């Protein structure tokens, strides 16, 4: 239930670390800003996993949730 929350902005992010013994680790970060919306989309026509937050995350500047996007659309802006 989203009604109690006035501010629905959020950011999804992913961090990946890579290390080689004897060297400093390298950390990569990806992030996408957006907002939480009521669940939309199941993307029945794509053979891909719909992650837990895909139906409720709408990236900034888009009118679709991650679950409503094709895999190609999502991959162009994904935080991963």
Q: What is the pLDDT of residue 79?
A: 84
Q: What is the DSSP letter of 9?
A: E
Instruction: Delimit the domains of the chain by residue range.
Output: 9-77
Residue 12 has a pLDDT of 92
pTM score of the predicted model = 0.76
Fold of domain 9-77: Maf protein (3.90.950)
74: how many CB neighbours lie within 10 A of its CB? 23
- Tens of pLDDT, residues 1-25: 566 778 889 999 999 999 999 999 9
Query: What does the pLDDT look like over 36-79, one tens digit per residue?
Result: 998 888 755 555 556 688 899 999 999 999 989 988 999 899 88
């Amino acid at each position: 239930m989203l009604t109690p929350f006035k501010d629905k902005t959020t950011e999804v992010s992913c961090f990946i670390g890579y290390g080689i013994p004897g060297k400093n680790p390298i950390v990569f970060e990806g992030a996408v800003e957006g907002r939480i919306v009521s669940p939309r989309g199941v993307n029945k026509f794509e053979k891909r996993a719909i992650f837990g937050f895909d139906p409720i995350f709408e990236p900034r500047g888009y009118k679709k949730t991650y679950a409503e996007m094709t895999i190609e659309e999502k991959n162009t802006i994904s935080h991963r």
